[in-house]
Amino acid sequence: MQDIDSLVRSFIYAFKGFCWMVFHERNFRIHLVCLGYMAYFLMRYDFFVLIRVECAVLVLASALVLGGEMVNSGIEKADDSVTRENIYTIKVSKDVAAGAVLVFAIASVIVGIILLWQPEAFRKLFEHYVSAPQYIVYLVASLVVALAFIFKLNSNFIRKLKKKYIAKKEKK
């Protein structure tokens, strides 16, 4: 039973780490938004033709970017907990970790271009949006929400929302 409790706790810690990344790391949110749009367009429309292996490669490339971003943030936080002083080796470890994420992101974009470069699919997608202007409005609205998610969502913003709405409930 202790093994199962330990396993459950490890998943809880992993989920907390993922949530921490969402609330504290802007670059992670950028990667999530890009992944979300890619997944939406691939699942919603049948314009793009991908076999299972190609889908798996896209998932792995995306996972490498997200995982790399998480490892990078972990290294940065661990380095910051050692000292705030300007120590050359800490600077190097942070720069190398960030460089690894850059390599993963560039590779992921290249994989996406190789697999998704289907001009006919993009033409059909464009025609779909032109033929139904309301979809353009939905797309623009979703981009506004995505940008707010990327640039406004952080722990301070959440704290302010909680304070504002909890204070309103207590006054009633």
Name every residue whose Cβ is closer than 8 Å to that of residue 118 and which is 6 or more positions away in sequence.
47, 48, 49
Residue 36, pLDDT above cutoff 60: yes
The Cα 131–Cα 2 span in angstroms is 59
Average pLDDT over residues 140-146: 95
Report, as residue numbers or ranges, the catalytic residues: 69
| Residue corresponding to tokens 């059909």 | 124
Q: At 65, is the pLDDT very low, low, confident or very high (cuts 50, 70, 90)?
A: very high
29 within 8 A of 149, measured Cβ to Cβ: yes
Choice among 20-29, 42-51, 85-94, 96-105 with the minimum mean pLDDT = 85-94
The CATH class given to the 2-171 domain equals: mainly alpha
Please provide the average confidence, as pLDDT, over all residues in the chain: 90
Lowest mean pLDDT among 49-53, 91-95, 126-130, 152-156: 152-156
Q: What is the pLDDT of residue 144?
A: 95
Task: Give CA–CA dist 39/99, Å, rounded.
Answer: 26
Confidence grade of residue 122 (pLDDT, cut at 50, 70, 90): very high
Mean pLDDT of 36-58: 95
Is a pLDDT exceeding 90 seen at residue 170?
no
**Cα–Cα nearest to 53, from 41, 43, 61:** 61
Every domain of the chain and the residues it spans: 2-171
3-state secondary structure of 25: coil
CA distance 69 to 105: 9
Return the pLDDT at 161: 66
Query: Between 160 and 129, whose confidence is greater?
Result: 129
pLDDT classification of 1: cutoffs 50, 70, 90: confident
State the pTM of this model: 0.84
State the Cα–Cα distance between residues 150 and 29, nearest whole angstrom. Answer: 5
